[in-house]
Amino acid sequence: MTIRRRFFLQAGAGTLFASMMHGCVKAPQDRSVFNVDTTLLNQIKKRGYLLVATEDDYPPFEFLVNGKPIGFDHALLDRLKKVVPFEIRQEILPWQGILPGVAEGKYDVALTAAGITDERSKWLDFTMPIAESSIAYIKRKDDASIQSLRDLTGKTLGVQQGGVSLAAIPDLAATLKQHKGTLGQVRQYRGFAEAYQDLLNQRVDAVLHNIVSLSVLVNEKPAIFELGERVSRKAYAAWAVKKGNQGLLDLLNHFLNNLRETGELEPLQAKWLKITFENLPTQPLLPGDRSIQ
């Protein structure tokens, strides 16, 4: 199974999901009685805890600072631990081992911003999205020649070699063609640091990357870079569980939906992602807002 890069303890008391499922477990004194699906409880009891996997180096979603895990997904995990009546343990590892580990049953949840793709949906089940993973562009702040997506016609663009930014080029070319424009030169880079440097040095006119990473960069350097529009179909990032683990999927979806309804999700997005997504779908969707079959 080949996994490409993204195109993203103990629980306390809680009654968040009191009416969501069947079965019942009595929590310790510092926790509330909590109704949870019996099948899910039995699954967790086999291991003794719920095991989630997070990445070690994917800011702003998950990363380490002085050995401490922080980021958007860690903030969500902290809240999840407070509302479930069982122990949650976390394992931090490189991206390449997360999704295969969940598919094989080594981990219960890929609690990471995994892009929802056609291939992955065949062997994983995804929660409702936690963010977009759409591809957008940035330009130099002082470049007045680019004011909209149409202005990318004929421009030199920087993308990551073999990455999803390169895969977005056909969508951009089609959009430019609709407006009687043409795709310019596309330069491929091993990493985005080099692409950003070339943007500053005017060797490229814009760099394509996922919208969250670009939002964070623009927030850090607002006098230098400016965020442009999306250049491809909308795509989404979500958590993942093993195919068919409906009880756990329902639990996570109820948790995430509650964060939306109580207004807690958007402030966390603003803090960590430097962008908010007000109208995320309530079900996992493939790129282009396609339903998973």
pLDDT by residue (tens digit) across 77-113?
Answer: 999 998 888 899 999 998 889 999 999 999 999 999 9
pLDDT in tens, 157-181: 999 887 888 989 999 999 999 999 9
3-state secondary structure of 249: helix
Q: Are 157 and 185 in contact (CB under 8 A)?
A: yes
Alpha-carbon distance values, 143 to 131, 146, 220, 226 (Å): 29, 6, 18, 9
3-state secondary structure of 36: coil
End-to-end CA distance of the chain: 21
User: Going from the N-terminus, what domains does the chain have, and what CATH number goes with each?
Assistant: 38-132+235-291 (3.40.190.10), 135-230 (3.40.190.10)
- DSSP state, 25? B
Q: Facing residues of 286 across strands?
A: 290
Model confidence at 35, pLDDT cuts 50, 70, 90, reads: low
Among 10-24, 228-242, 275-289, the least confident range: 10-24
Q: Facing residues of 55 across strands?
A: 93
pLDDT in tens, 200-211: 999 999 999 999
The pTM score is: 0.80
